[in-house]
Chains A and B, each alone.
Chain A
Amino acid sequence: MKDKNNATTSLLKRILLNCSAQAKQYGSCVSARVPEVEKDMCLKEFVVLKNCMQNVVWLVHISYSEGRSTWFDLSGVITDNLKKVNLHKMTGELSSSALSCSSGSNALSHVYIQYPPLRCNVPGSRSLFYDDSNKLILSLTPTQVFSWKIATYNPYAAPSSDRISEGPVLSIRYSLDLKLLAIQRSSQEIQIWNKDTGDTFSQKCRSESESILGFFWTDCPTCEIVFVKTRSVTCTNLLPGTLTRIEALFKAICDCSGLDMYTYGTESRNLQLVQTKKLSISWYIYTHESRLVLLASGMQCKSFTGFQLSSAGIIRLPKFEMVMAKPEANSNPILAAEDVHIITVYGRIYCLQFDKVAMLLRSYRFYRDAVVQQGSLPAYSDRIAVSVVDNVLLVHQAEAKVVIVYDIYADSQVPISAPLPLCLRGYSRANVAASHTSTKTSEASESKNLSDTEETTYGDQWQFLVPDLVLDVSNGSLWKISMDLEASSGISASSSEVQLILEFLQRRKLDAEKAKQLSLAIVRTIILERKPVPMVARAMDVLLAAYSQAIKTGSYYKRSITEEISPSNAPNAAVGETITGIDVSRSINQEPESVTRNDSSKRSIMDGSIEKTETGDLLEPGLLGGEDLPTGHSQTLGPTNNQLNSSASQRNQSQVTSSAATSPADFYNYVFSPTVEEMMGDGSYLTAIIVDFLRSCSLEKLKVYPNTYVLLVQILARDERYAELGLFIINKIIEPSKEVALQLLDSGRQNQQIRKLGQDILRQLSLHHDYILLLVQDGYYLEALRYARKNKVTTVRPSLFLEAAYVSKDPQHLAAVLRFFSDFIPGFKSSPDHNTYHRFVAELNS
């Protein structure tokens, strides 16, 4: 803990050039009180230092102290001094809707948390940890660690527990196969406990000067656990430094800071050092989702080195610098770990850096061989948190208490909709209003009792976990952030760009069925509203292109996944893409991801290893879609998954439509056939729409659902546009099929030519039986007979021909038909038909 603090203080070193005196005062204040670190403890000194640094905001992460874990948020102190941004005004306007939202009504909000949360507090719990590799929430009591699996979020999940020995815990993580538990006991020591054997083993630093910043488990083939170390610097070293002294210091840091990679020997039961990467490290961030560790260094902590430690191996990213605005010429703000977020969207890895001076959230995209700055998003709050829900980026403006939603698929910096508050759903209490007053005041008076205000959104106790969780550390409740697609698309549907909304919806994987229904509903609506044809056409283009893409990648088909996969271990080798390469691996990489993130209500989970209790709650019948499941398309996941089988912790047997793609059949069922009934009078508009639909289909080389053609024939025939109908058939705009032929015959009762077209289709499709029946019906029995003989059709009863010939009152023809059957059908002469019609011939002749 002391070392950790020191490490943080070493950040301070970088601004000593500017504010050395003030920094020294503050540093000595803090170091004097270590390890009893508390909030606001060196406030006076800090304010002085802060003034010196010209509103530079930084956060010092101090490790968990007794009783509760804290993010020691210094910025909270200086909030008042910071410039007020526009959004603060907006907050006022939104507060009313925030109220209604929290009261549980279906308010205008696209992002919500569902009540109840997962309660992670156990009696005697000291602190909460998040193990993002295994998606576990860990709650520590002095002798036990309780873990909740949150890969499939279930608020009623029961924890499992493991015994641990007593002692300080700085950090705790299970290995990926959950067999080992690593606990950081101090900045010098990490303890590893083998669950199976019960062995404990401690790994200590080689020298006193080393200090472990943290560690993480990895599925990298060469190593299992990685320690991030830095040179420990004590505050006493921080004399009003000269430059040479600092340089010497850095040299020392470089000597022993860096990454240590170990494997765990099952026989030797200890860690073996595999590889060391020597780097200067001030602090680091790691997310298991991206397998990316970012190491900050430099005076302002804005020089970064990154490693991706995935199952594909270790990739070293090129060193890059983040951009930071300077408040003044001589002051250099320091970037803190809390201001940098690694996010994974659409299988791409981005890094978001909060520049508090410029009030911008700068984004960088990682490629295998480059890091490219992508632009920036505005920030309206001094506290920014970031979540990713279903590949949508949520930027929480914590002070303004609103969320801004971005879909950075096409590198667009435009939010999907206006900032709206985070909504708490399913929660109702009599004293809503009362609690809201406390909500408002809680910000000002931070000592407010939080136990009563668990619906306090964006309280200081909120800790945002990767990717979409919020942990309220004060009362141990874990919330899952969800998106309301209906609301977000509803809000944006009012805007003119239907196309963009549909693209957005089509990219949704989490609630794909909903997204699909919404997409179709939007198209239906714009057709019913008789929006211009080009606009509808564009909308359909979007949906069909997405469908065709989904077909190609195979994500459209419902999959029956029986392989064991570990959701958190889903390989995510997004950094593997090069800047020049096409992102082909994306969809494949994402598949397991999308499976794991799917709504628990849509899947049945059978938990194989740890928590048998969970299955009872969650076992539900699989999702039933209306689509045909082509055989041979049951998805087999790639070899990368297979190699993870040993470490798998979950067995998924799920049937998932992981794509919001809308098939041409869906278009028929949900768009065309309902609208046709409502728009009887507007045949030409509907024709135009369907033609454009056909154009989209042919562009994407999709097969059109035959009933769509039937519908088109009906519309054209109803409006008596026979010439056009004929043209459509002849140019094969309406592709021939039996359904179309029968509809043409039906519509052709009023128009002989249309009927003929239907007949032609029957003939061309070699539907001989129907064709002959039709000819006989129309009285062309001789032609029918000829045709029957040529194509060897024997399924039509002779009596039909005979009857038709008899009706024509032509004894010669009747005799000819009779003769035909006598000659070509053995035994016909003795049949009753023969006798009957033989008599008729005689009658007609007489």
Chain B
Amino acid sequence: MGLTSESDAKEAMKLCMFDLRRGQTEGQELDKILFFYPADLPITNQLSVIGLSEGLITFTRIFSPDAPCEVIEAEKHCHVFYEVEADIWMVMVVEKENPESIWRVDALRSVLKEIHSLFVMFHGYIRALVDKEPSGGLVRSHLYYFIMDFLSDFSIGKKLQLPNFRDSLKEQGTLQMLTVGREAAIEVQSLVTLLESCVGNKQCYSMTMFQDLLVSTNLSPIDTLNLFTYAVLRLTPIALFRGASAWSSLRKTDTACSTYAGALQVTSISAIDQYYNSHDPPSLRRHNYPLVRPLQHSKWSKGKDGFLTTDIWGTEVNSLLPMCPTIWLHLTEEKMFLLAYQHRGLTVILLVPVSSVSGDQGISMLKQQIIENASLKMLKVEEKLSRGWGGENAYHVSGYRYLLVDGDRYVSRASPPGKVTTLTKESLVALSKLREEVDLEKARAKWDNSGREKDIEICIRAKNNSWLIARLVRGKELYMVLEKGSETLLFAADATEKFSERYCNGAFSLD
């Protein structure tokens, strides 16, 4: 097993994080490493990966001090670089031997970005942790558990399944939004103000979700994205259900033939836990840090009062009540209590400044107040939203397989996954390539003339006669696959035009 102790199976993916400011002297190189996956890789191998990476970074910096090195494409490997914080780098090494291993570098890098931004949301900046305890034990143990928990979500069976060409009609690191009618939107908005009034005069934030789609928020875009990502992973009804069913099937111990996602995770959870027991690096065992593992599976549950509870953040010293979760806001670096209320499909997350609430008593009072004042309204909002909700395939447009990205607002919308799987492998691989090209073009345009957005229009006829279309207009992107199209380019252009007029308010209609 990839994650477990069967070390003869070669790990297809390596992931490391290192700090260039540490271990500068000869023999101290090990000190650089903040995280390495797989942890049981011999130290020399670890050091060689990091050494190569560092060398490349240093070398490319000579030519491009601001953006040193992004990717190394080797024959068998691909190294994806990402500088998470100043002088702290993450490098992901993926192998190319597998026929499924057709990656898009930007998609991989967005995984790295996601790891980092989520980590920062829960634990604060890595640099700050490093500075807090120069020995590195604290940051290492935090990173270790956090990233391992994070990666467990990508594991399918024995392997980590990173976003590959099959996900090319998906955009990592974006929000998926529910389209609501005006009336419902106003209703939601007035719910938000009602919640705010429950908190009192202090500035608080809220995020309203329906199923795993965002409805409304007043958070800054970055915080929204982080919190949204976390909610989709752990808090939404679907995530909770996944957790619960995993737990139940764990008890039944029948995981062998189940293809159900929850069951698959069971193996990975147990695998990771085993892994922790047997493979904790010696450095971690020496310290006993109070660890918070926000990404741990099956830890959230819905309480009787409708609020989601977890003991991830430990329990109160005097009582058995679980501590209220806290997160850091990106922009203000303020610590916030996280309260999540759930009613059927509706999840309302409320962030209240830690400084404004007096401990857990204040929190339970606040909860009481919300239940008293707002629960009825939430019921109403949920009803309204679920009435307007078209279900899983609500955003399917027949004949089209599409991805819409609004880069300004980090919002994307795509054909439902079930529909995307009907596409042939050729189409998807070709689209992946096309996107790779567009990514490059975008990056180039960014360097060429900053502030000016370039409009791009690409139409490609793939080998299997499907049309692949990419259109970038003023910061908005549209990718489409039309498999059953006719021969002419005119058809493709027409189809795009029609789609743009009908579903995008004509945003992609050029001429």
Contacts and interface: CB of A to CB of B under 8 A. Distances in A.
Contact of A723 (B194, B220, B509): B220
A692 B452 CA distance: 39
A726 B409 contact: yes
B33 to A, nearest CB: 38
A446 interface: no
A779 interface: yes
Contact of A756 (B452, B474, B509): B474
B506 A763 contact: yes
A756 B220 CA distance: 18
B474 A731 contact: no
A731 B185 CA distance: 6
A733 B196 contact: no
Contacts of B186: 691, 694-695, 698, 733
Interface in A513-545: 532-534, 537
Given A533-B194, A691-B193, A733-B182, A764 B505 contact: yes
A721 B218 CA distance: 8
Given A692-B193, A783-B455, A790-B511, A727 B408 contact: no
Nearest to B189: A691
A753 interface: yes
Interface in B196-211: 196-197, 203
Contacts of A726: 409
B507 interface: yes
A688 B194 CA distance: 9
Contact of B219 (A723, A735, A753): A723
A764 B506 contact: yes
A448 interface: no
A779 B453 CA distance: 11
Interface in A676-727: 684, 687-688, 691-692, 694-695, 698, 721, 723-724, 726-727
A534 B183 contact: no
B46 interface: no
A688 B216 contact: no
B236 interface: no
B114 to A, nearest CB: 20
A790 B218 CA distance: 38
Contacts of B511: 786-787, 789-790
Nearest to B377: A534
Nearest to A699: B183
Given A684-B196, A727-B216, A698 B506 contact: no
A753 B408 contact: yes
A728 B189 CA distance: 9
A687 B196 CA distance: 12
Given A721-B218, A727-B216, A727-B217, A732 B185 contact: yes
A731 to B, nearest CB: 4
24 contacts: A533-B193, A537-B190, A688-B190, A688-B197, A691-B193, A695-B186, A695-B187, A695-B189, A698-B182, A721-B218, A724-B217, A727-B217, A728-B189, A731-B182, A731-B216, A732-B182, A733-B186, A753-B408, A756-B475, A763-B506, A764-B505, A779-B452, A783-B510, A787-B511
Contacts of B408: 752-753, 756
A497 interface: no
A726 B511 CA distance: 26
Q: For the complex of A and B, list the 8 residue pairs with the smallest distance between their C-beta atoms, beginning with the closest.
A: A688-B193, A731-B185, A753-B408, A695-B186, A732-B182, A691-B189, A790-B511, A724-B218
B221 interface: yes
Nearest to B451: A752
B476 to A, nearest CB: 9
A775 to B, nearest CB: 10
A436 to B, nearest CB: 51
Most buried by A among B183, B186, B197, B224: B186
A760 interface: yes
Nearest to B220: A723
Interface residues of B, number: 32
Interface in B454-477: 455, 474-475
B98 to A, nearest CB: 40
B194 A534 contact: yes
A720 to B, nearest CB: 10
Contacts, number: 75
A841 to B, nearest CB: 22
Contacts of B219: 723
A174 B452 CA distance: 87
A723 B193 contact: no
A687 B409 CA distance: 21
Nearest to B452: A779
B160 interface: no
A723 B221 contact: yes
A772 to B, nearest CB: 14
Interface string A757-791: 00010011000000000000001000100110110
Given A684-B203, A733-B185, 8 more contacts: A694-B186, A723-B220, A727-B216, A731-B185, A756-B408, A764-B506, A789-B511, A790-B509
A721 B220 CA distance: 8
Contacts of A534: 194, 197
A152 B258 CA distance: 88
A733 B193 contact: no
Interface in A470-523: none
Nearest to A701: B183
B180 A692 contact: no
Nearest to B453: A780
Given A532-B197, A723-B224, A760 B217 contact: no
A695 B509 CA distance: 33
Interface in A79-132: none
B214 to A, nearest CB: 9
Contacts of A763: 505-506
A731 B177 CA distance: 11
A760 B505 contact: yes
A752 B408 CA distance: 9
Contacts of A698: 182-183, 186
A530 to B, nearest CB: 10
Interface in A717-754: 721, 723-724, 726-728, 731-733, 735, 752-753
A730 to B, nearest CB: 8
A692 B511 CA distance: 41
Contacts of A684: 196, 203
Interface string B475-511: 1000000000000000000000000000001110111
B189 A533 contact: no
A786 B197 contact: no
Contacts of B180: 731
Given A694-B186, A723-B224, A688 B196 contact: yes
Contacts of B182: 698, 731-733, 735
Nearest to A751: B408
B493 to A, nearest CB: 13
Contacts of B216: 727, 731
A787 B474 CA distance: 14
Nearest to B197: A533
B194 A753 contact: no
Contacts of A721: 218
